[in-house]
Amino acid sequence: MKLYIASNFSSRHRLRPIKFNLKKIGFEVLSEWIDNNPMDNILDRGSDSIGNHLEATQQIAARDIREVTACDIFIIDTQSLGRNGGRECELGMALIARTPHIFRVGPIRNVFHTHKAIKVYKSWEELLPVLEALL
């Protein structure tokens, strides 16, 4: 099964071990942004990704759209506060695409996080057994 994790870009380091564990148990995790992002060096120097490097941001957006629309399981991680709303846009795509399984890990941050299609978990530890049962 194909799985996509949406979260803040700043959460990528925290999510790397989770992605690794999900792959280890048999999921195809499509969230390339967690490991491989052409903006890593630029953003780590304090620059933003909103239009300052147009070609790179266009490539990132196209990649993420392909991955979100290809997944069977979409997970939005709301544990960290966000500044740019990328994960919210991805959640909207998953809802519109009627992704079969949509989960939220973390608190409600906006009204769309309460959508009836989203199953809610407080932590990744709570969600992992549910995901394993889907395999």
DSSP-based three-state secondary structure for 133: helix
DSSP letter assigned to residue 130:
H
pTM, whole model, 2 decimals? 0.89
| Predicted pLDDT of residue 46 | 46
> b or e along 97-129 (b: 16 or more beta carbons within 10 Å of the residue's beta carbon)?
eebebbbbbbeebeeebeeeebeebeebeebbe
Question: Tens digit of pLDDT for each residue in 5-25?
Answer: 999 988 999 999 999 999 999
pLDDT digits (tens, 9 = 90+) for 39-88: 555 555 444 555 567 777 788 889 999 999 999 999 999 999 877 788 99
End-to-end CA distance of the chain: 7
- Asked whether the predicted pLDDT for residue 27 surpasses 60, the reply is yes
Give yes or no for residue 30 having a pLDDT over 60: yes
Structure-model confidence comparison of residues 119 and 51, the more confident one? 119
Which three-class secondary structure string do you get for 8-61?
Answer: CHHHHHHHHHHHHHHHHCCCEECCHHHCCCCCHHHHHCCCCCCCCCHHHHHHHH
